[in-house]
Structure 1
Amino acid sequence: MTVGSVAQILEELAPLDHAEDFDNVGLLVGDSAMEVNGILVTLDTLECVVDEAIAKDCNLIVSFHPIIFGGLKKITGKNYVERTVLKAIRNNIAIYAIHTALDNSFNGVNAKICEVLGLINNEILIPKKDTIRKLTTYVPVAEAEKLKKKLFEAGAGNIGNYSHCSFTLEGTGSYKAGENSNPTIGEIGKTHSERETMVHVTYLRSSERNVLDALMTNHPYEEVAYEVYSLENRNQQIGMGMIGELEEGMSETSFLEHLKKTMKAQVVRHSNLRDSPVKKVAVLGGSGAFAIGAAKAAGADVFVTADVKYHQFYEAENKMVIADIGHFETEQFTKNLLVDYLTKKIPNFAIRLSESITNPIKYF
């Protein structure tokens, strides 16, 4: 199995197109054609993690956070980033980062937090925009079902828990083949009318190349007429954060105790308690203060996240409780999620959970 093959498996869970624009995801170091001996899964890639990979004979590190974030103009070993990259290159170890692609996955970082907290009926908190495309094309009636089948195989027609979704309408198309054309149906220089099916299918932006390749490969016409639209529809499967419900409501103090215990937090920084029961909980792993407004609008009783600044706690406005448990603490179970996923996808393969503690924040 190659590095590229492992990347394809990871991108089934978290397509790189779903990552935020500011991010740096995918293969950061190494050759995609290299054969993989073993995989080490970590939250952060540091020198100690590369050392661990060497000791465990793993030549691919799958990291949640990217070690290379800004551009590297030199690699001389003058800081921890350059030293880590140098060590990986010297030891022929590839590094793959998944970060916000997994943040935006319905089964990603925030789903894992919900699982640990015991939340049910989970939904995306902030749906990601510009993820849905719509394809319209026109095909002879007799060829419509064959073309639809190929489009479905390429990833079109999936809406939530439904697949093979489409809409068709029959009508008459016309065209006149030019001098240098090679028409499948009709004659050069003559206007031809053909009974056609107009086919509408939606697909994820990340599947666009496959869908359009399937269209061009399987459409019978020499010149394919088609239109692609970007839709504003709310995507229920891709986006930042999640909101769910506790099976049984509890008091705010009881929930904070539950939060601290299950998420293994050293401390919980929180806004003013409202003396109200907690039932609806929003979560966003990592730096999530930007979602405070969305959590309030969704009716959350508590919003669990990290890296909240002093004045941002005021934004709770006594409409909910903001609970900051720490950046590392919100994301610490992500590597377990990735190990479980890869183990199911690649059974009988060496997949290791990193034992290195990479949290840069210590508590006294």
Structure 2
Amino acid sequence: MFARGETVVQLMERLAPKHYAEPEDKIGLQVGSLRKEIRKALIALDVTPEVVQEAAAAGAELIIAHHAVIYRPLAHLQTDTPAGALAADLLRKDIAVYVAHTNLDTAEGGMNDWMAEALGLEGRGVLREVHTDKLYKLVVFVPKEHAEAVRSAMFAAGAGWIGNYSHCSFNLEGTGTFMPREGTDPYIGKQGKLENALEVRIETIVPQSAHKAVVSAMLKAHPYEEVAYDLYAMDLKGRSFGLGRVGVLPEAESLDVFAERVKAAFDVPFVRVVGEGGKPIRKVAVLGGSGSRFIRNAMFAGADVLVTGDIDYHTAHDALVAGLSLVDPGHNAEKIMKTKVAEWLQLRLREQGYATEVLASQINTEPFRLR
């Protein structure tokens, strides 16, 4: 059985929820339709004509990309322009394009965590906080003999976390009353008769990012035809998510040695370096994509170096004067997401029993070359 496009995207949004995206970021479905079976999905950094040909040759009906295929506003869709021709080719080949950009950057276990892991950083934290997961209190009333099954289903879906403590809940036994009316199919009791049932009131914490999955799991595990439950917004701060990561190397090393580490980690032929080659590097900030506007965040975090792409001339001078070293592996270093997303999504599809295959694009979309 192959997953439909909507299902593939729902699983992808478990990794990179859409509400993590920066305002005005161009994410989500950009071309085509998800209302079809997906035999193969291709994970790509960029959507170029070569990537579209690769997807078509592989038989992929869906491309999941990091960078938007439609980013700047289009005044028209003329097929004799590069943007129009690309869109027309996708539509002609019936290949949909779904984009996960800053929501994938921000996500726990997403782009910036992958980059920090590749560099061997330990004790990682967020470079710039951009989102805090709201917390909700979920209260549900369950027949006593089903309480454990419902609790387990909610915990497995992401409920019950308080800090580093998992499986947190409060449980209170009591008597529930109800009268099944005409047209009902009650699990307990008979139509037209007032019923008293021994129930457990289960209370647990649910983060915004998981509340749909938790409620769905709870309803599926609950034996009642009509489930009595409440979901309350709480005035408490949950986990913080953000762009970039800060961590430390196991041991200090010189800036020049660290630059070689960056080249190897992101499989790039060269890096641009700002700072003295012998400077000791221990605390590292890393940010995928264009990170010039994160210089102050890296300095405030006490980083010895910031690893990011697209550093401009004047920003490099500002960092040099401030004593912050820079290593720029280019924007294309984000290609690390291709295999990571493919592996993550393939595993989730297999867990759901789907035969859909997820491929990592082999096309190098780096636009620059050295002479």
Quick check: TM above 0.5?
A: yes
Equivalent runs, 1:80-119 vs 2, <5 Å:
80-119=82-121
Q: CA deviation at 1:258?
A: 2.5
Match runs of 1:110-129 below 5 Å:
110-129=112-131
Note closer, same or farther for the CA distance 1:267–1:31 as it changes in structure 2 (3 Å cut).
Answer: same
Q: Which amino acid aligns with 1:320?
A: L
SS in 1 for 2:311: coil
Counterpart CA distance in 2 for 1:42 and 1:214 is: 31
Q: What residue number does 2:359 align with?
A: 352
- Give the stretch that moved more between structures: 258-267 or 149-158: 149-158
RMSD, aligned α-carbons: 3.9
Distance in structure 2 (CA, Å) of the matches to 1:322 and 1:301? 9
Q: 2:200 and 2:231 mapped to 1: Cα distance?
A: 12
Tell me which residue corresponds to 1:326.
Answer: 330
Spell out, residue by residue over 1:153-172, the C-alpha distance to the aligned partner (whole angstroms, 9 max, x if none).
Answer: 6533234654322467x8xx
Matched, 1:247 2:250: yes
Evaluate the alpha carbon distance shift between residue 290 and residue 231 of structure 1 in structure 2; reply closer, same or farther with a 3 A threshold. farther
For residues 355 and 215 of structure 1, the distance between their equivalents in structure 2, rounded to whole angstroms, comes to 41
1:283 counterpart residue number: 286
Give the letter aligned to residue 109 of structure 2.
Answer: N
Shift of 1:228: 0.9
SS of the aligned residue for 1:40 comes to strand
CA distance in structure 2 between the partners assigned to 1:46 and 1:149 by the alignment: 45
1:18 aligns with 20
Q: What SS class does the counterpart of residue 244 from structure 1 fall into? A: strand
Once residues 336 and 162 of structure 1 are traced to their aligned partners in structure 2, the CA distance between those partners, rounded to angstroms, is: 31
Q: Supply the distance in 2 between the matched residues of 1:362 and 1:64 (Cα, whole angstroms).
A: 22
Larger displacement relative to structure 2 (222-231 or 257-266): 222-231
Q: What is the CA distance between 1:252 and its match in structure 2?
A: 1.6
Partner of 1:157: 160
Q: 2 CA distance for matches of 1:64 and 1:92?
A: 20
Q: Which residue of 2 aligns with 1:229?
A: 234
Q: Structure 1: state its 5+ residue gaps.
A: 171-195
Partner of 1:180: none
Separation (CA, whole Å) in 2 of partners of 1:291 and 1:162: 32
- Give the Cα–Cα distance (whole angstroms) in 1 for the partners of residues 253 and 338 of structure 2: 29
**Aligned residue type for 2:234:** Y
Query: Deviation digits for residues 299-329 of structure 1, max 9, x if unmatched?
Result: 211110012222322145444312222111x
CA distance in 2, matches of 1:325, 1:270: 9
In the superposition, the TM-score normalised over structure 2's length comes to 0.77
User: Unaligned regions of 5+ residues in structure 2, if any?
Assistant: 173-198
Residue number in structure 2 paired with 1:298: 301
Structure 1 residues 246 and 148, CA, compared in 2 at 3 Å: closer, same or farther?
A: same
Structure 1 residues 283, 249: closer, same or farther in 2, change over 3 A? same
Counterparts of 2:57 and 2:304, CA distance in 1: 46
Query: Are residues 1:202 and 2:219 paired?
Result: no
1:116-195 → structure 2 map (5 Å cutoff): 116-135=118-137, 151-152=154-155, 155-159=158-162, 162-166=165-169
Superposition deviation, residue 57 in structure 1: 1.6
**TM-score, normalisation: structure 1:** 0.78
Aligned match of 1:36: 38
Equivalent residues, number? 346
